[in-house]
Amino acid sequence: MDGTTHNTGPVRVRFAPSPTGYLHVGGARTAIFNWLFARHTGGTFVLRIEDTDVERSTRESEVSLLDDLRWLGLDWDEGPDAGGSHGPYRQSERLDRYQAAARSLVERGFAYPCFCSDEDLERKKKEAIAKGRPPQYDGACRELSPEEISARRRAGTPETVRFRVPEGTVAFEDLVRGHIEMDTSMVGDFVIVRSNGLPTYNFAAAHDDRDMRITHVLRGEEHLPNTLRQILLYRATGAEPPLFAHVPLILAEDRSKLSKRHGASSVEELRESGYLPGAVVNYLVLLGWSHPDAKEKLSREEMIGAFAIDRVGKAAAVYDPKKLAWMNGLYVRELPLEEWVRVATPFLPPAIRQHYDEKTQRDILALIQDGVERIDQVASLAGVFEDEPRLEPEAAEAMAAPGARDVLAAVERELDSLADPWTPESVKGAIGRAGRETGRKGKELFFPIRAAVTGNLHGPDLSRVMTIKGRESVLGALARALRSES
């Protein structure tokens, strides 16, 4: 079942974030799946802002969410900034519609006013739990007479609106999980409008999905209990519900809920850590979905062409930061030099940007590009070009090894005799002559020199590093190393 057809017409999907914080990687994957499905089917991708949580929703968070989605390369056909024939696309601008829909449900007997206080509800909940019953609403206001309702309103008692849950089952074909049946006894009569007049999540979401002609709802499996409520709301309006696809959760490597303690868990953190948007999308789309040819590195066109819901698995996906970094490294190495310099320059240490001109900074970045997975590694990799880089413990050991001092002294003499300007070839020749003079080669030759000049034992081509650093810096580093060894 690929979920590409629906009897209401062309595919229309939505991503509906709440602007209450950052865009989590799980939300980002949901957005990507919906976007790919819309693009694969030639359908419509709708962005809806669910901002009825007035205490937590902010316009700043909305701006951040939209920026993150654009950074990922996702565009929407309808939304708060794009317009469309089914707007407005912020729930805070649709409140009159929810009020009218709630009144209609009450008038037709599908909902009713409830005057139970929060204290009463909490007490009843505790009593139910103590007696081993589900902590559901007990229906105390379900059969109030018109006179009782009027009396409580005259008394100024705060009221909510509850949906009257019928007995029976709700069955549907989930495009990922297959046939699902849920007994309505799983939920009590649930609130659809709060005492402050604002709609609850399920009521607003179901109303908007119907109004916006959404044909498919792709979302995380944690929403399954919401699906029961939303299908009931659809039934009450006589409308056909959309097709549902509940995708697996994204877990940390220890199988716990993904959080900051497992590394970057938001798109903003990934951006700041130096991940490329193409790599992030490529990695996230493979968390729960697989390409028919088992390919791992995919272009946008390949993702769009191959995406189908029937290739989404049921098992939870595990977020592996090392795999993401590896994927990012593939994308980094494919960047044209101009683009690489543009994205990497902000990550250069201030000392490098102050000491070297733009051309030399470009040479440095070109030299380290192949060794970068996350762009924030630029700072440490470029640190070897500082005049006095940090000496790593293993580098200090290499400089203290037997014969290391002889190597450093020999290479210092050879380099000092080189004509200016140095070139990678002339520096490489000087190192070779020092090796022959001391009878050293391989690690015994290169490790002491690299340690003295760069502070560590690994990195880009040593002769090119030394050429960029130049005569004064390199000879100064060797002199300091020899003094410390004497």
Domain assignment of residue 459, yes or no? yes
Residue 260 known to be catalytic: yes
Confidence grade of residue 290 (pLDDT, cut at 50, 70, 90):
very high
Domain assignment of residue 415, yes or no? yes
Among 257, 260, 295, 322, the one annotated catalytic: 260
Is the model's pLDDT at 147 over the cut of 80?
A: yes
Domain assignment of residue 111, yes or no? yes
325-367 pLDDT per residue, tens: 999 999 999 999 999 999 999 999 999 999 999 999 999 999 9
Domain assignment of residue 279, yes or no? no
CATH number of the domain within which 426 lies: 1.10.10.350
Is the model's pLDDT at 470 over the cut of 80?
A: yes
84-118 pLDDT per residue, tens: 999 999 999 999 999 999 999 999 999 999 999 99
Is the model's pLDDT at 169 over the cut of 70?
A: yes
Is the model's pLDDT at 16 over the cut of 90?
A: yes
Q: Which domain holds residue 438?
A: 387-485
Domain assignment of residue 143, yes or no? yes
- Mean model confidence pLDDT for the chain: 94
CATH number of the domain within which 112 lies: 3.90.800.10
Q: How crowded is the C-beta side of 43, counted as CA atoms within 13 Å?
A: 26
Give pLDDT, residue 216. Answer: 98
Domain assignment of residue 58, yes or no? no
Is the model's pLDDT at 244 over the cut of 90?
A: yes
Is the model's pLDDT at 485 over the cut of 90?
A: no
Domain assignment of residue 458, yes or no? yes
* Number of domains present in the structure of the chain: 2
- ∠23-24-27 over CA atoms, to 5°? 85
Domain assignment of residue 296, yes or no? no
Q: What's the pTM value of the predicted model, to 2 decimals?
A: 0.90
Give pLDDT, residue 443. Answer: 95
Joined tokens for residue 323: 């795999």
The whole-number average pLDDT for the span 385-398 is 92
181-222 pLDDT per residue, tens: 999 999 999 999 999 999 999 999 999 999 999 999 999 999
